[in-house]
Amino acid sequence: MNNLISVLIGALIALMVLFNGSLSSFFGNYQAGVIIHFVGLVATCLFMFTRKIKLKTKKNIPFYMYMAGVIGVITVMFNNIGFVNLGASLTLAIGLLGQTIASIVCDHFGLLGTNKFKFEKKKFIGLAFIVIGIGIMNYF
């Protein structure tokens, strides 16, 4: 089930990049970013309202945890730029390479208190396939 959900997430991310990039083409990167995040805020509030979920505050959360919002904005902006200049598929492929490298580093060192999953040399094979795939997409 988790694998199916992960495939669905991947498909939704592809659609998100396509929609966000198209909005950026119409409105420009910054205005599109505002629209995208405002619509996301409204959708989240509606979801919480219909499910009767109350917004709770928590103490003792490290400040850097709130940086996820900033990272989300930067991600949308960079995806929009990539979409306009590279297209959806190459933007996603290169983004997946970055995600894979970052996740290997996070897993290996157990960053932000997560479990450690040591880097194994066999993961180089997967990285090589991703890089070869990006090269093929870029040059052919």
Q: Domain-by-domain residue ranges, the chain?
A: 1-86, 87-140
Residue 39: what pLDDT? 97
Residue 56: what pLDDT? 86
The three-point CA angle 30-33-38 to 5° equals: 130
- Cα–Cα dist 140/13, whole Å: 24
Residue 58: what pLDDT? 84
Residue 57: what pLDDT? 83
Residue 139: what pLDDT? 87
Residue 66: what pLDDT? 87
What's the pLDDT tens digit per position in 101-133? 999 999 999 998 889 999 998 888 989 999 999
pLDDT < 50 regions, the chain: none
Q: In this structure, how many other beta carbons lie within 10 angstroms of the beta carbon of residue 65?
A: 10
Residue 62: what pLDDT? 85
